[in-house]
Amino acid sequence: MPLESPSDLVLGADLQRRLDALFVNAPLRDYSIRPRVNDFTLPVLGMGYIATYAAHRGMNVGVLDAEAHGLGLDHTARIINDLAPRWVGFNLLAPTYEISARLAAALHPEIKLLLGGHQAKAMPAEILTDPRMACCEALVIGEAETRVVELLEDHRNRAELPGVMWLDPVLKTPVTGGRPSSGGYLAPPINQLPFVDRRFLTQDPHFDAGRWEANMVGARGCPYDCSFCGAAVSANPDITVRIREPDNILAEMDELRRCGVSAFRFVDDLFLGAKRVINTMMTAFTAERVGDWAAWDATGRINVLNRASDDMLDTLAANGLREVALGVESGSERVLQLIDKRIDPEMTHSVVRRLTERGINVKGYFILGFPTETEAEIDQTVRLVHDLWAIADDQPGSFRASAFEYRPYPGTPDWTRLMATGRYTVDQLLNYTAVDLTSSGAEAAMRERDEFNFSVNLQLSEAPIDYVRRNLVSLSREQYERKVAA
Ligand code: B12
Ligand code: SF4
């Protein structure tokens, strides 16, 4: 049951005083209709960073993670209206846009609306002209820490800030701010930002498998262009790819260590995604003997790890690398080329073998139902998952598969391709709908990732949707049985 009291739900703020801003992560669906069946989700680090920066500038701000708390729509709106902050900020992702817009429409009109996140970047004009967003004073494209603080201090300066948009009150057309040489706002100095204040985060640090674990961001932006991905470089022209200095990362890890944290998860795309980053980080980790006290997980790129020497993989293991999450995506070479993944199944076999034989666990992400994908190509993906399980079965490290149904995201190369076919409308491609594969919560095997089971319910692949879902369910069940058996 969700907790009722705002003081349990709104984190980091002094609720005795009026809030300058409340940052709200909308739920993926209205949990008053079908309750959330999971009790853990990763924290909203982006909003945590903004709130931390604003608090350092003396503002009274809080974060309400309605997804993590499994809140219903009315409940979320009631909390916001009761607190009546000066501003409310939403992190808009494509699948949470609709629910965020419904929330926005239910708020008192005197609360100023601040919008950001991937969907705000992909479709700003459509959002600003959505009547439910009529209270929007500022839509911020991209990394928002420094611009949000300026806006909270005095939103009339929005015309000076680059990548800040609003609706002209007379002409009803979108306007973009920004004076010359104000580009620095788009790429906040990541080594000077205060470490994210975990008072703003739900379940972070959290206790798991005998350790306190915290999530971290080591880099911003991704240089790759995988055609389905919202983080792809072509979908994020505003972003300058940056990696935090090793000393800065180690200082944050050390601060957390003093609070008892000894496990870390790097959520960003680049930590093990570029050779230069791996080399620099591991030199620093080795010098500080991180492997003596910490275990950490990170995302990685198969093509990059494939080029890493055996010595480097040994160094990663010695430095505490516990699990690498890899975008394997497909077992079909044609699909891998189509999505510009720059890997092939042979490379994946080799990387999974070389990591697991060193005791490093691997989590593989797979997508079923890519546009144009055939049943035979889906079968190749299913076979690849089985091959990777078999490879790891004999090794000290394990392999686990996490499979998703394909869905399109605005701004990505796939979105452009799908729209160019002339077969779909924007509304159809945005019609993300929750799909219950858990038999109303009864099937344990499907519960773990229930909130990620949503679909636009269009057959975008050559294979029927039912074929995609049957394979998704059988892979998920098998993975679950392996976990239970282990
Ligand atoms: C960690 C992560 C998660 C975590 C945490 C989610 C969260 N809300 O922060 C979990 C696992 C819970 C998650 C869930 C989902 N995620 Co996710 N996630 C990521 C990931 C890998 C990193 C995000 C991150 O922490 N970045 C680091 C921080 C510093 O950056 P940031 O979050 O972008 O925040 C900055 C700006 O966006 C902006 N900003 C953020 N919030 C706000 C709010 C306001 C008011 C303003 C003005 C600005 C602003 O300022 C921040 C600081 O600079 C990204 C990939 C990526 N590279 O972005 C995908 C990504 C953001 N997720 C995505 C999606 C679709 C989802 C889901 C809808 C389901 C899914 N995976 O398919 C759910 C949504 C649930 C929810 N409501 O939270 C997509 C978004 C695509 C799109 N176009 O919408 C991405 C890009 C990955 C992808 N599949 O392509 N996700
Ligand atoms: S899938 Fe990973 S590597 Fe590809 S663009 Fe997205 S974040 Fe970058």
Q: State whether residue 208 is helix, strand or coil.
A: strand
Q: Give the pLDDT band of residue 2 (cuts 50, 70, 90).
A: very low
Q: pLDDT exceeding 90 applies to what percent of the chain?
A: 86
CB neighbourhood size of 104 (10 A): 25
Using 50, 70 and 90 to split pLDDT, how confident is the model at 436? confident
Helical H segments across 213-309, by residue range = 246-257, 275-287, 302-307
Q: Kindly give the distance from the C-alpha atom of residue 93 to the centroid of ligand 1, in angstroms, as a whole number.
A: 7
| Residue 285 and residue 174 share a domain | no
Classify residue 385: in a domain, yes or no: yes
pLDDT, residue 451, reads: 72
Q: Provide, for the chain, the percentages of residues in helix, strand and coil under a 3-state DSSP scheme, each rounded to the nearest 5.
A: 40, 20, 40
CATH number at residue 127: 3.40.50.280
Ligand 2 centre distance from Cα of residue 120 (Å)? 19
Q: Which residues line ligand 2 (CB under 6 A)?
A: 222, 224, 226, 229, 231-232, 269, 301, 327
Please report which confidence band the pLDDT of residue 3 belongs to, taking 50, 70 and 90 as the band edges.
low
- Indicate if the pLDDT at residue 350 is higher than 60: yes
Total domains present in the chain? 2
Residue 1 is assigned to a structural domain of this protein: no
Q: How far apart are the CA of 225 and the centre of ligand 2, in A? A: 7
Q: What confidence tens digit (pLDDT) does each residue in 357-408 have?
A: 999 999 999 999 999 999 999 999 999 999 999 999 999 999 999 999 999 9
Name the more confident of 313 and 180. 313
Ligand 1 centre from 396 Cα, in Å? 33
In this prediction, residues 12-33 reach a mean pLDDT of: 95
Distance from the first to the final alpha carbon of the chain? 31
> What confidence tens digit (pLDDT) does each residue in 100-155 have?
999 999 999 999 999 999 999 999 999 999 999 999 999 999 999 999 999 999 87
Residue 25 burial by Cβ neighbours in a 10 Å radius (0-12, 13-18, 19+): buried
Distance 288 CA to ligand 2 centre (A): 30
DSSP assignment letter at 272 = B
Whether residue 96 is found in the same domain as residue 134: yes
Confidence of residue 449 (pLDDT cuts 50, 70, 90): confident
CB within 8 Å of 332: residues ≥ 6 apart: 373, 377, 380, 381
Contact call for residues 258 and 226 (beta carbons, < 8 A): no
Q: Give ligand 1 pocket residues (Cβ under 6 A).
A: 23, 25-26, 28, 41-42, 44-47, 49-50, 67, 89-91, 93-96, 114-119, 122, 140, 143-145, 148, 217, 229-231, 267-269, 409, 452
Average pLDDT across the chain, whole number: 94
Pair 169, 214 in one domain:
no
Mutate to test the pocket of ligand 2, among 118, 224, 228 (most ligand atoms within 8 A of CB): 224
| pLDDT number for residue 4 | 63
Which atom of ligand 2 is found nearest the CA of 230? 6
Question: For 430-457, what is the mean pLDDT?
Answer: 79
Non-local (6+) Cβ contacts of 295 within 8 A are 211, 262, 263, 264, 320, 322
pLDDT for 1 = 47
Cis peptide bond N-terminal to 205, omega within 30: yes
The DSSP secondary-structure symbol of 446 reads H
Quote the percentage of the chain above a pLDDT of 70. Answer: 98
- Could you tell me if 345 and 216 lie in one domain? yes
Average pLDDT of 291-313?
A: 97
pTM to 2 decimals? 0.96
Best mutation site among 118, 217, 220, 222 for ligand 2 pocket (most ligand atoms within 8 Å of CB): 222
Q: Hey, which residues does 11 pair with through a beta bridge?
A: 63
For the segment 57-66, the average pLDDT, to the nearest whole number, is 97
Q: How far is the CA of 341 from the centre of ligand 2 (A)?
A: 8
Name residue 269's amino acid. D
- Asked if 412 and 377 sit in the same domain, the reply is yes
Using DSSP's 3-state secondary structure scheme, residue 470 falls into helix
Same domain, yes or no: 82 and 220:
no
In this structure, the answer to whether residues 216 and 321 fall within a common structural domain is: yes
Q: Would 123 be classed as within a structural domain?
A: yes
* Region of residue 342 (phi > 0: left; psi between -120 and 50: alpha; otherwise: beta): left
Closest CA to 197 of 49, 68, 88, 67: 49
Q: Are residues 169 and 222 in the same domain?
A: no
Residues 325-338: what's their mean pLDDT? 98
- State which residues form the domain around 281: 205-485
Segment 156-177 mean pLDDT: 92
Measure 169 CA to ligand 1 centroid, in angstroms.
30
Strands of 164-167's sheet in order across? 10-11, 61-65, 21-25, 87-91, 112-116, 136-140, 164-167, 174-176
Q: Average the pLDDT over 305-324 and give the result.
A: 98
- Residues 369, 374, 378, 380: is their CA dihedral positive or negative? negative
Residue-wise pLDDT for 167-177, tens only, equals: 999 999 999 98
CATH of the domain at 290: 3.80.30.20
Please indicate, yes or no, whether residues 180 and 222 belong to a single structural domain of this protein.
no
- Measure Cα distances from 151 to 148, 200, 205 in Å: 5, 20, 30
194 domain-assigned: no
The pLDDT, as a whole number, for residue 34 is: 87
The DSSP element (H or E) to which 63 belongs, if any, is: strand 61-65
In this structure, the answer to whether residues 69 and 165 fall within a common structural domain is yes
Q: Tens digits of per-residue pLDDT, 248-277?
A: 999 999 999 999 999 999 998 778 888 999
pLDDT at 440 over 70: no
Overall average pLDDT of the 153-158 stretch: 82
